[in-house]
A and B are shown apart, each in its own frame.
Chain A
Amino acid sequence: MVETIGIWIAAILTLGIFSFLYKDNPFYKFCESLFVGVSAGYWFATTFWQVMMPKLVDNLAAGRWIYIIGGIFGILMLLRLFPKIGWISRWSLALVVGTTAGLYFTRYLVSNGMVQTENTIMPIFVTGNLPQTIGNLVIVVGTFCGLVYFFFSKEHKGTFGGFAKVGIWFIMVSFGASFGYTVMSRMSLLLGRLDYLFGTWLGLIK
């Protein structure tokens, strides 16, 4: 019983969202508002139980008092609601931004800078394997030109500009490939929804 009602509601809401494709309308607006409200409530309640409780309450209950620091900074954050002392909340923001800036300094340098450089270092000449040699050569040249494209302090003119141009060509090829592949994923999503409407709801297809 609950399931049948649930499926009907779900199906009707699905149609409501699809109606947006035609144009904005009261039905869509209803679904949208309901969606925003329900999702915010869901997000708050689940984060409360799954993050707030284990990270703060359980730790404090277990006598790990150091976690009170997180709690204090959290409460400082809430002082934003009082305009007079709202500036105190910046301490909490500073803690968040500072910590992650320090973390990301090395994280990006290593995972994006050094590891990628290491991976790109490959032998150009592979004896007895012409396709591989050509492939590797193109990769090294392409990476080189791609990097040149991202130079900001040098005008893209002359030979340098030529490299930059080839670089952005490579980048565009890659974007095209991403786009081409994504079409498939997105069509799968639509199939899933139609399956729900015609299968689960109406029982027309199995």
Chain B
Amino acid sequence: MRKTLPFAIVTGVGFFMLVQYFVPREEFEIIYEWSLDWIIVIGCFAMLLGLWSLTMASIHKVQRKTPGWGYSVIALIGLIFMLIVGLYPGQASLVKGSIFMLFFEYIYIPIQATMFSLLAFYIASAAYRAFRARTILATILLVSALIIMLRLVPLGPLSSVNQWLANFILTVPNMAAKRAFWIGVGLGATATALKIMLGIERTYMGRD
């Protein structure tokens, strides 16, 4: 029960999903649709696990008075508050103008957008520190990035030369590399899926 059943399930549903790809019949299609929905439902229940983990971790920090426990209190308050105003009013909480959505708009969105915009600084810093022509590979990466970036800089008569070069990079070597990359990923993913279905790769699922 503990050991065998999970792998029987993996192999069973795995092969069913493989077979249904080739069978257009209605019965297969319906089971396929159900399984996808079941997985979504399982994910919904699993949300509770996440919530539990987050809450318990914060409570532990507060109880043990670990350094910075006050911030855990803030996280907890934010969480509980959002749950109350998000769940208690029913689906009305998702309507624009509700307290829930106001919090989303004026707290979540601005922080989210600002975190995202930090990338503007980080990309500059990464360019400064990491783009050094240490090896041939690093040099190629750097030169290709420079050519693309120069597209945004008016270079006068050189502009059209650079445009041509950038266009060549994007349509020829870029395409070849991406194709090779994607084909490799495709085969690797297929192999991983096969390993799971055959039960060769089972590290992800406990052993006791």
Contact = CB atoms under 8 A, between A and B. Distances in A.
Instruction: Tell me, yes or no, whether A and B come into direct contact in the complex with CB atoms closer than 8 A.
Output: yes
Interface of A: 2, 5-7, 9-11, 13-14, 16-18, 20-21, 29-53, 55-56, 59, 66-67, 69-71, 73-75, 77-78, 80-81, 87, 90-106, 108-109, 111-113, 116-117, 119-120, 135, 138-147, 149-150, 167-177, 179-184, 186-187, 189-190, 192-193, 196
Contact of A91 (B6, B16, B83, B182): B6
Nearest to B30: A66
Secondary structure call for the B interface: helix
Interface residues of B, number: 121
Contacts of B110: 10-11, 13-14, 196
A176 B179 contact: no
A4 B100 CA distance: 17
Given A44-B51, A46-B94, A37 B76 contact: yes
A124 B113 CA distance: 47
A94 B7 contact: yes
A94 to B, nearest CB: 4
A174 B109 CA distance: 33
B101 to A, nearest CB: 9
A104 B13 contact: no
Nearest to B10: A98
Contacts of A90: 2, 6, 205-206
Contacts of A91: 5-6, 9
A102 B174 contact: no
B158 interface: no
B102 A189 contact: no
A36 B12 CA distance: 39
B79 interface: yes
Contacts of B17: 98-103, 105
